[in-house]
């Protein structure tokens, strides 16, 4: 069996999606299930669709291509690069947009293929990542309604990604206000009003999502069962659909502070150490080429993660409940960043459990 190893439990993912889908559909909200954290793996994506996701969303066209056989529309979450518009109109059903110039070029590309490409206009409601300002909407719409190759499918906003802004009821009401203005001024019917990512879930549970928001784009809660804003486990969802394991290759007693004249570590940082005396230390065959160090923790609370170089992970195992020995397998819990790093590393073995 190969290590480091990431076990992916498809039934737990299915359970998480169907619970979230049920909660959302009670309020008239559909889920665009976000696949970027598992690189658009088609086997996992298929489970999301079977469990009720009516749209799949990813930030990369490369991932969307892998899911092209799945019978739901695909959304591109990152504003497209001008250099990928040909692929965009080929593989993507709806894309997030904020720049007139880009939308114009998308329209041209779509027309070349005799297609009409759906766009979702992103409005920045304060998080300061993507999106146009509310006062730009009118000018953008003026231009967009003239274009034959694109159709305004809806509008959306994003939160909690750069500014850490937490959406509130009034924030989403602002989005609905913009929708109303667009619909009355241009006589359009907007199908999708996308009220954010998992940062909007707390509003759903508090029954504070205003009527009219009909889509949420959810990633982290599906894969980790965790709520984003307050970083707490979601009741009734699995937090261990993805599990990370590594194998111990050395166990020795060593001082907790290095011996000798000290400089920088393998990553150019001057390391600091807590003197806990002589400690029993394990090396796990896993490193920064496999995982984001800040994104993982030993599952057993008694173990202390000390650090890592590219291929070695150092763990203080002195207080382990059962003595750790050579060849043992240790489990690690992951944050979103930790999971993303393990998924994107070619060195980590991914094992699906059906």
Residue from 31, 70, 77, 94 binding ligand PLP (CB under 6 A)? 77
Per-residue mark of binding to ligand PLP, 131-170 (x: CB under 6 A): ---------------------------x------------
Chain positions 258 to 317 lying near ligand PLP, rule: CB under 6 A, are none
Pick from 241, 265, 248: which is nearest to 339 by CA?
241
Q: Which is nearer to ligand PLP, 289 or 344 (CB)?
A: 344
Which among 36, 74, 179, 350 is annotated as catalytic? 36
Residue 217 interacting with ligand PLP (CB under 6 A): yes
- Which helix or strand (DSSP H or E) is residue 18 part of? helix 10-25
Query: Can you tell me whether residue 339 is helix, strand or coil?
Result: helix
36 in catalytic set? yes
Q: What's the closest the beta carbon of residue 174 comes to ligand PLP, in angstroms?
A: 18
Contacting range for ligand PLP; rule: CB under 6 A; set: 16-24, 175-183, 211-219, 310-318? 211-219
Tell me how far apart the alpha carbons of residues 210 and 214 are, in angstroms, rounded to a whole number. 10
Residues within window 47-76 making contact with ligand PLP, judged by CB under 6 A: 59
- The reply to whether 16 sits near ligand PLP by the rule CB under 6 A is no
Q: How far is the CB of 125 from ligand PLP (least distance, A)?
A: 13
Residue/partner pairs of 106-109 with CB below 8 Å, 24 or more apart:
106/80, 106/149, 106/150, 107/147, 107/148, 107/149, 107/150, 108/149, 109/85, 109/149
Q: Does 220 bind ligand PLP (CB under 6 A)?
A: yes
Q: Residue 95 has which token pair?
A: 């894309």
CA dihedral 232, 290, 81, 43 (to 10 degrees): -70
3-state secondary structure of 121: strand
Shortest Å distance, C-beta 198 to ligand PLP? 3
């Amino acid at each position: 069996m190969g290590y480091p190893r990431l076990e992916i439990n498809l039934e737990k993912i299915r359970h998480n999606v169907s619970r979230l889908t049920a909660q959302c559909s009670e309020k008239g909200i559909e889920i665009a299930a976000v696949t970027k954290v598992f690189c658009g793996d088609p086997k996992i994506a298929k489970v999301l669709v079977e469990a009720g996701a009516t749209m799949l969303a990813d930030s990369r066209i490369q991932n969307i291509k892998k899911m092209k056989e799945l019978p739901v529309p695909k959304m591109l979450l990152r504003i497209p690069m001008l250099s990928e518009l040909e692929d965009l109109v080929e593989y993507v059903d709806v894309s997030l947009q904020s720049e007139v110039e880009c939308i114009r070029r998308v329209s041209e590309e779509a027309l070349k293929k005799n297609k009409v490409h759906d766009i979702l206009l992103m409005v920045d409601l304060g998080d300061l990542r993507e999106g146009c300002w509310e006062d730009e909407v009118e000018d953008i719409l003026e231009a967009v309604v003239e274009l034959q190759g694109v159709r305004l499918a809806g509008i959306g906003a994003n939160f909690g990604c750069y500014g850490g802004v937490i959406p509130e009821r009034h924030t989403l009401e602002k989005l609905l206000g913009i929708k109303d203005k667009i619909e009355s001024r241009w006589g359009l019917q907007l199908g999708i009003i996308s009220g954010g990512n998992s940062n909007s879930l707390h509003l759903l549970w508090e029954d504070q999502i205003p009527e009219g928001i009909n889509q949420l784009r959810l990633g982290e809660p599906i894969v980790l069962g965790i709520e984003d804003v307050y970083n707490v486990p979601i009741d009734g969802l699995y937090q261990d659909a993805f599990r990370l394991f590594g194998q111990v290759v050395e166990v020795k007693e060593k001082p907790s502070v290095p011996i000798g004249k000290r400089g920088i570590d393998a990553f150019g940082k001057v390391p600091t150490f807590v003197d806990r005396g002589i400690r029993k230390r394990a090396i796990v065959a896993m490193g920064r080429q496999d995982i984001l160090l800040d994104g993982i923790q030993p599952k057993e609370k008694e173990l202390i993660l000390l650090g890592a170089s590219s291929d070695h992970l150092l763990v203080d195992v002195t207080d382990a409940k059962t003595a750790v020995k050579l060849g043992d397998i240790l489990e690690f819990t992951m944050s979103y960043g930790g999971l993303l790093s393990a998924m994107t590393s070619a060195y980590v073995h991914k094992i699906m459990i059906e």
